[in-house]
A and B are shown apart, each in its own frame.
Chain A
């Protein structure tokens, strides 16, 4: 036998899951399949969460009221991605932004396109661009990206608490 140390041992592991999104997120995904964003409002603090998770993370109570949110929102903050990585599907450089949809009290992450990367800025008004209606489904791939809506920038004070 060789004196060489054993440096590698392969032990393949595979587990399959059948995931349940949950009641609130299922509602959200069904809204996405119809080309609209659905949030849920906390009955205690009044905040609107999107995507909703069925519970207010601040108050710990069920978010019962459903709210149809707008197709437009504000870029609260962003980054420009210049680094290639495995599995990347978008050409670099591209913009990844936190977007506060009109009527929501929490920002979520979205891709910004149809704009030179040097023009992105905090407060920029953007709108969602959806896939063709026939391709809509209960998946975030239904939202192709966000692009500038052409509206004037939002004042910093209107989104500063969401940074």
Chain B
């Protein structure tokens, strides 16, 4: 089933907190609230203008049950609002909001997500998403699993450690112009290859930072979008696909779910089959995963990839995927791109992938 917009829906506002290793003093609500005020302030709306509110977060991060309900204090849930939550990255909350907006009884939606990874050992928390009987009790953390994936890429002769370092070097350089980024720098791939291994073959630079932060996006449908925003970033299609829970059953060097999601989203392709977009924001927490995603998408040479610095510059758990959508949309809203692709991932080793096609025109290249 193709996931194309029937009713035109666009990103009209985007905000994010500064991403940092540890929020020393603020709690989730206090981190989120300025972001919510910012995303409303940019287009002069309030929560009372929202037809729907959807958030993405994970209670395990702070170890507080129903922390996602408490987070609504940052929005103000009175009068009672039409609201939903996903225990996933905010990108998947945006997907839910987009499907809601395909119904024509609402015109606007607020999507937000937040996460403070510093409250716990994030590696252990993320291990709990694995098969609980046979795998999680072994406590393979996300770095170890990603290292298996990276080693598989090397063994298959597809990429080398130098390729991973090149991704990290470019990401850090690009992040220098992103005021919210956590990890920036001007180092050559050769310099980065001097880093120690964390889990071989992954060196320090190939890993995402541990990040606290929050983000928010406002979606609007039809004429409401053009009223609110000079250059809305129209969502022409969006799809997400998942692969098996059993890591051993997957070919970790490829991402068929990303390819399927891109097809479902109707990402425009040239005659050679390569994806044709001006900019792509890929949610690749580990450097080698960007290479897998590029291959799965068939990203051509013309696309600018992760001008924000991507998840290697800031990787808020539950946040970084929605930030990719906001960053990609921002490139259209600021006029620097006509078409964009935003990708979000969830689960170990790119298990689940969401692809969103964005365009400066509602019909876009992805229609039909």
Which of chain B's residues have a CB closer than 8 A to the CB of A23?
25-27, 30
Identify the closest chain B residue to A19 (Cβ): B119
With contacts A11-B137, A60-B33 taken as known, whether A22 is within 8 angstroms of B62 at the C-beta atoms is no
With contacts A11-B132, A17-B63, A19-B62 taken as known, whether A55 is within 8 angstroms of B120 at the C-beta atoms is no
Which of chain B's residues have a CB closer than 8 A to the CB of A56?
73, 76
A-B contact sample (11 more), CB < 8 A, given A18-B119, A55-B76: A11-B137, A13-B128, A15-B128, A19-B64, A22-B28, A22-B30, A55-B29, A55-B74, A56-B73, A57-B76, A60-B75
With contacts A20-B26, A25-B27 taken as known, whether A15 is within 8 angstroms of B74 at the C-beta atoms is no
Question: How far is the CB of A104 from the nearest CB of chain B, in Å?
Answer: 16
With contacts A60-B47, A60-B74 taken as known, whether A22 is within 8 angstroms of B121 at the C-beta atoms is no
Can you spell out 24 A-B residue pairs with CB atoms less than 8 angstroms apart? Answer: A11-B132, A12-B137, A15-B63, A15-B120, A15-B121, A17-B62, A20-B27, A20-B119, A21-B27, A23-B30, A53-B70, A53-B73, A54-B26, A54-B27, A55-B74, A55-B76, A56-B76, A57-B77, A57-B78, A60-B47, A60-B73, A60-B74, A61-B37, A62-B33
Which of chain B's residues have a CB closer than 8 A to the CB of A53?
27, 29, 70, 73
Interfacial residues, chain A to chain B (CB-CB below 8 A): 9, 11-13, 15-26, 53-62
Q: What separation, in Å, do the CA atoms of A7 and B220 have in the docked complex?
A: 51
Identify the closest chain B residue to A17 (Cβ): B63
The reply to whether A22 and B26 form a contact with Cβ atoms under 8 Å apart is yes
* A22 contact from B25, B36, B37, B136, Cβ within 8 A: B25
The reply to whether A54 and B30 form a contact with Cβ atoms under 8 Å apart is yes
Which of chain A's residues have a CB closer than 8 A to the CB of B121?
15-16
Q: What separation, in Å, do the CA atoms of A76 and B303 have in the docked complex?
A: 63
Which of chain A's residues have a CB closer than 8 A to the CB of B77?
57-58, 60
Q: Is B104 an interface residue, CB under 8 A from the partner?
A: no
Identify the closest chain A residue to B64 (Cβ): A19
Question: How far is the CB of B300 from the nearest CB of chain A, in Å?
Answer: 43
Q: What separation, in Å, do the CA atoms of A58 and B72 have in the docked complex?
A: 9
| Number of B interface residues in the complex (CB < 8 A) | 36
Identify the closest chain B residue to A11 (Cβ): B137
Q: Is B133 an interface residue, CB under 8 A from the partner?
A: yes
Which of chain B's residues have a CB closer than 8 A to the CB of A20?
23-27, 116, 119
The reply to whether B62 and A26 form a contact with Cβ atoms under 8 Å apart is no
With contacts A20-B24, A22-B25 taken as known, whether A55 is within 8 angstroms of B119 at the C-beta atoms is no
Question: How far is the CB of A64 from the nearest CB of chain B, in Å?
Answer: 12
A-B pairs, top 10 by smallest CB distance, nearest first, are A60-B76, A22-B27, A58-B78, A17-B63, A11-B137, A55-B73, A57-B73, A60-B75, A54-B30, A59-B76
Which of chain B's residues have a CB closer than 8 A to the CB of A21?
27
Q: What separation, in Å, do the CA atoms of A25 and B27 have in the docked complex?
A: 9
Encode contact with A along B54-72: 1 for CB under 8 Å, 0 otherwise.
Answer: 0000001011100000101
Which of chain B's residues have a CB closer than 8 A to the CB of A16?
120-121
Q: Is B296 an interface residue, CB under 8 A from the partner?
A: no
* A55 contact from B30, B60, B132, Cβ within 8 A: B30
Which of chain A's residues have a CB closer than 8 A to the CB of B118?
18
Quick one: which of B217-255 are within 8 Å of A by CB?
A: none
Which of chain B's residues have a CB closer than 8 A to the CB of A24?
30
Which of chain A's residues have a CB closer than 8 A to the CB of B62?
17, 19
The reply to whether A26 and B25 form a contact with Cβ atoms under 8 Å apart is yes
Q: What separation, in Å, do the CA atoms of A76 and B70 have in the docked complex?
A: 23
The reply to whether B76 and A61 form a contact with Cβ atoms under 8 Å apart is yes
Question: How far is the CB of B338 from the nearest CB of chain A, in Å?
Answer: 35
Q: What separation, in Å, do the CA atoms of A11 and B60 have in the docked complex?
A: 17
Q: What separation, in Å, do the CA atoms of A106 and B343 have in the docked complex?
A: 43
Identify the closest chain B residue to A10 (Cβ): B137
Q: Is B125 an interface residue, CB under 8 A from the partner?
A: yes
Quick one: which of B107-139 are within 8 Å of A by CB?
A: 116, 118-121, 124-125, 128, 132-133, 136-137
Question: How far is the CB of A14 from the nearest CB of chain B, in Å?
Answer: 8
Which of chain B's residues have a CB closer than 8 A to the CB of A18?
118-120
Which of chain B's residues have a CB closer than 8 A to the CB of A57?
72-73, 76-78
Question: How far is the CB of B24 from the nearest CB of chain A, in Å?
Answer: 7
Q: What separation, in Å, do the CA atoms of A59 and B27 have in the docked complex?
A: 18
Question: How far is the CB of B1 from the nearest CB of chain A, in Å?
Answer: 36
* B33 contact from A11, A13, A54, Cβ within 8 A: A54
Which of chain A's residues have a CB closer than 8 A to the CB of B30?
22-24, 54-55
The reply to whether B136 and A11 form a contact with Cβ atoms under 8 Å apart is yes
Q: What separation, in Å, do the CA atoms of A57 and B119 have in the docked complex?
A: 24
